[in-house]
Amino acid sequence: MSIDDSERSAAERELADAVRSFLERVVRPVEAKYAAELAETGTIDPASQLRERRALRRRSAELGYYGMAMPEEAGGLGVSPLGVAWAFEEIGASGLLLADRGGVLPNVEGPNLAMVAMTPAQRTRYLEPLLRAEREGCFALTEPGAGSDATSIRTRAVRDGDEWVITGTKQFITHGGDADFTVVVAVTDPDRGGRGLTAFLVDRGTPGFSVGRTHRTLGEDRPVDLLFDGVRVPDSAIVGGRGQALGYAMRAINVARVNIAAGALGKSRYLLNAMLAHASTRQAFGRPIGAFQLVQAHIADSSIEIDATRGLVEAAAAAADRDDRSARRLAASAKIYATETVQRVADRAIQVHGGGGVTTAAGIERYFRDARAARIYEGTSEVLRANIAKWLGVPV
């Protein structure tokens, strides 16, 4: 590591510490208002979550945290993928529901690296308000017949004079029901496979564009279907150029996988601390349950996997920073391992807490639900494993 790299690393550690302080000073008092609801239901009602997160992300944006991952020339802080991962880890470790999913750092509603491809006019209209948390977006890629396999997309954009006419249905779109605009990926050149996909900006309220069904999930997300029925947009709505959508999308998704892994690492830390506290105070047969070897094994196994996860997350973030050939593979590896680890740690935490662990009052069961969902979005564990094998040279 060079002196410059060392100085940057120290500065970004300080930034992660500042994010942790923000979580305690700003977010925790807000979430405390919902303590009774969290204990009773295990969650906060969706309308309150939306309202509080919007207010929190505006405060985060004022301090620069919300746009930290964006390059300086795009209006962000230019923080490295490793620095951003450290910040996402702190959010996961806080145990705060409102800090997650765009409360402090952007989820799908906010700025992402694919938006670097925007034109100056698009940046002014879309990216700059996003960085200030004044507008919200969403990314519409998944369809009823096209999830992990983006080349199976059926939504079409057909040229008609100076406009494009978009027709199709997108499914499971996170934040789609609340976004001011969407970046929708459609087929413009059917004979070119993945190189025939183009991204378009579509504003809420555009004729023919509507929100369909809301899907209730086992986690906190409420994704929706987005319907495009002859939606007309100009050439200036194209993001990054015709046929370039998949490349820009994968760049953003790879970084998102590292951030998901980092958040899962933080949640594993939170759950380990919950186990340690309960094992020290809960008495059974005249002694703390931490004195029993099987409880110790749950705690020790979790600690081992957390340490392994941290090494993989930091390796993936460093590779993303270098943008080297291993970046995609390590991002996939980190996402798989971290999300599967937090699932196991959550299961152990429930077991250590006994009957109380499956109740909403303990605040543990929602991590189990959340972890299960994380193994699906931004690439299922199965597809990512297949990709890793392919990148390693296994014949397909």
Compute and round to an integer the Cα radius of gyration of the chain.
22
Residue 5 clears pLDDT 70, i.e. is over it: no
Q: Where in the chain is the domain with CATH 2.40.110.10?
A: 137-239
Task: Report the predicted TM-score, pTM, of the whole model to 2 decimal places.
Answer: 0.94
SS3 234: strand
139 pLDDT band (50/70/90 cuts)? very high
Given a cut of 50, whether residue 2 has pLDDT beyond it is: no
**Number of separate helices (H) and strands (E) present in the chain:** 12, 10
Rounded distance between C-alpha atoms, residue 98 and residue 53, angstroms = 6
Residues of the chain with CATH 1.20.140.10: 246-391
The per-residue pLDDT for range 197-238, each reduced to its tens digit, is 999 999 999 999 999 999 988 877 889 999 999 999 999 999
The answer, yes or no, to whether residue 151 has pLDDT greater than 60, is yes
11 to 5, 60, 77, 84, 183: CA distances (angstroms): 10, 18, 12, 12, 33
- Could you say which DSSP state residue 190 is in? G
The CATH number of domain 137-239, selected from 2.40.110.10, 1.10.10.10, 3.30.479.30, 3.40.1160.10? 2.40.110.10
Indicate whether 3 pLDDT > 50.
no
Q: Where in the chain is the domain with CATH 1.10.540.10?
A: 3-111
What residues are annotated to the active site?
Answer: 378
Whether residue 330 contacts residue 321, with contact meaning beta carbons closer than 8 Å, is answered with no
Which segment, 24-28, 145-149, 173-177, is predicted with the most confidence on average? Answer: 24-28
Whether pLDDT at 153 is above 60:
yes
Residue matched to tokens 């991590």 = 367
> 1.20.120.720, 1.20.140.10, 1.10.1060.10, 3.40.190.10: which CATH number matches 246-391?
1.20.140.10
Residue pair 148/133 in contact by the 8 Å Cβ criterion = no
Q: What is the mean pLDDT of the chain?
A: 93
Domain 3-111 has CATH 1.10.540.10: yes
CA distance 386 to 332: 10
Q: Summarize pLDDT for 338-391 with one digit per residue, the tens.
A: 999 999 999 999 999 999 999 999 999 999 999 999 999 888 999 999 999 999
pLDDT tens digits for range 39-80:
999 999 999 999 999 999 999 999 999 999 999 999 999 999
**149 has pLDDT over 80:** no
Residues 44/37, Cβ–Cβ less than 8 Å: yes
